[in-house]
Amino acid sequence: MEKVVFITGVSRGLGRALAEAYLNAGRTVYGCARSKCDLGDKYPNRFHYKSIDLSDAESGPSALRNWLDGAPGFELAVLNAGVLPEIRDMRDTPLESLRETMEINVWSNKWILDTLLAMPRKPGHVVAISSGAAVSGSRGWNGYSLSKAALNMLVRLYAAEEPDVHFTAFAPGLIDTAMQDYLCGIEDDDDFETVRRLKKARRTPDMPGPEEAAQKITKVLETLPARSESGAFVDIRKLDN
């Protein structure tokens, strides 16, 4: 299969670093986000970018379909874009905030997958970027935990329907991105113990920058179809690499 990779959320953080790692390795990348990505300047022929708002389930799907009309099949699709809502208790979290998080972290991946799976060549491997928060249930992670748990199940359900495509819900470990800027900027609060742990991990090998993380993740992703069941939730921190 031609080496073409599809990635959402390429404007910064892990998505941008993954896109750059694949471009450096000679692959072609189709990437989307709302804000522009500078990789097009460096790789004008192999980086294809489209601005798509994943919270917009009205016009997002047709924008994606039109953009990908005529695109080659994808060896790998990384559903990376995601949002982290404010850390606070469930009882303090408005339903609207939960809905917004679900729209981007879960439902957009449904219409993205429906589009990718309807292409003449289906993706070989679909990796949805999940999180340890999908299973930890730590206090304060409200819509984020709910959305990543639902994302894991979304992946399982598609895996059951699509035996020719390998699916993975993948927790990438801690990565020093804009998400961590927010988390590490929160004042210490005994109610939200996990935030204190993240602050301790920052600037240590437990929280690499996105480029370093992407180097490791791209290698690990290559091996997953051979060593994990399709639809499984895989946490990079629990793998013997």
* Contacting residues toward ligand NAP, per CB under 6 A: 9-15, 33-35, 53-55, 80-83, 104, 129, 131, 172, 174-175, 177-180
Q: What's the closest the beta carbon of residue 159 comes to ligand NAP, in angstroms?
A: 19
Give the residue with the Cβ less far from ligand NAP, 121 or 194.
Answer: 194
Q: For 232, phi and psi rounded to 5 degrees?
A: -75, 155
Give the residue with the Cβ less far from ligand NAP, 121 or 156.
Answer: 156
**Partner residues linked to 47 by β-bridges:** 29
CB 10 within 8 Å of CB 30: no
What is the SS3 assignment for 55? coil
Whole-number Å distance between alpha carbons of 11 and 34: 8
Q: What's the closest the beta carbon of residue 6 comes to ligand NAP, in angstroms?
A: 13
Residue located via tokens 């589009």: 115
Whole-number Å distance between alpha carbons of 99 and 76: 28
First to last CA, the chain: 25
Give the residue with the Cβ less far from ligand NAP, 2 or 206.
Answer: 206
CB 216 within 8 Å of CB 237: no
Give the residue with the Cβ less far from ligand NAP, 121 or 198.
Answer: 198
Q: What's the closest the beta carbon of residue 73 comes to ligand NAP, in angstroms?
A: 23
Q: What's the closest the beta carbon of residue 124 comes to ligand NAP, in angstroms?
A: 21
Q: What's the closest the beta carbon of residue 163 comes to ligand NAP, in angstroms?
A: 26
Whole-number Å distance between alpha carbons of 35 and 37: 7
Q: What's the closest the beta carbon of residue 122 comes to ligand NAP, in angstroms?
A: 22
Among 57, 14, 11, CA closest to 37: 11
Give the residue with the Cβ less far from ligand NAP, 55 or 194.
Answer: 55
Whole-number Å distance between alpha carbons of 169 and 210: 19
What is the SS3 assignment for 152? helix
Give the residue with the Cβ less far from ligand NAP, 10 or 23.
Answer: 10
